[in-house]
Amino acid sequence: MLSKEALKEKNTEFWTQFRKSMNSQPSASGRQVNWINYPTGVKDVYMRMEVDGKGARVCFDIQPKDDGVRAIIWEQMMELKNLMQTEMGIEADFNEKSHYWNERLISRIKWEDNRLNYFNDEDIPKIIAFLKDKLVRFDKFYQEYKDILINLTS
């Protein structure tokens, strides 16, 4: 088990390394993107990356305050599910009622590789490659269909 300070240092080193690996990767739109804070263009919709001893995950979180808006976005994502699955290259876990955060229900679409362990230094390059691949694939899909979601919530 790592100390709090050692874990903070590992996290800083990992995310710095990830950011550097993504610096030269443009979006499918041709623009530079801050991949760690991926710009969805939709309020309360986020791309999140998680790494831990149980794997690496890229998550598309839908968490508006209004459950009606969340349901509309979720329904649209379900209509795009097959196109998204094809682009992503692996099956996603679709969970309309994933969890609550700050008293908001979060709907989550998650791509995960649970064979990877963040605390195994040999897995770090594989984790970075997994996150990069899934973000780039998602971006290709999202650039094609994001206007639908933006228009739904405007």
Locate 101 and state its tokens: 């955060």
* pLDDT tens, residue by residue, 61-79: 999 999 999 999 999 999 9
Question: pLDDT value at position 99?
Answer: 81
d(CA 109, CA 6) in angstroms, rounded, equals: 31
* pLDDT tens, residue by residue, 75-122: 999 999 999 999 999 999 999 988 887 778 899 999 999 999 999 999
Q: Give how far the C-alpha of residue 6 lies from the chain's centroid of Cα atoms, to the nearest Å.
A: 25
* pLDDT tens, residue by residue, 13-56: 999 999 999 999 999 999 999 999 999 999 999 999 999 999 99
Q: For 16, what's the count of Cα atoms within 13 Å in the CB-facing half-sphere?
A: 6
Q: What is the CATH number of domain 4-153?
A: 3.30.1460
Indicate the pTM of the whole model: 0.92
Is 148 in contact with 76 (CB distance < 8 Å)? yes
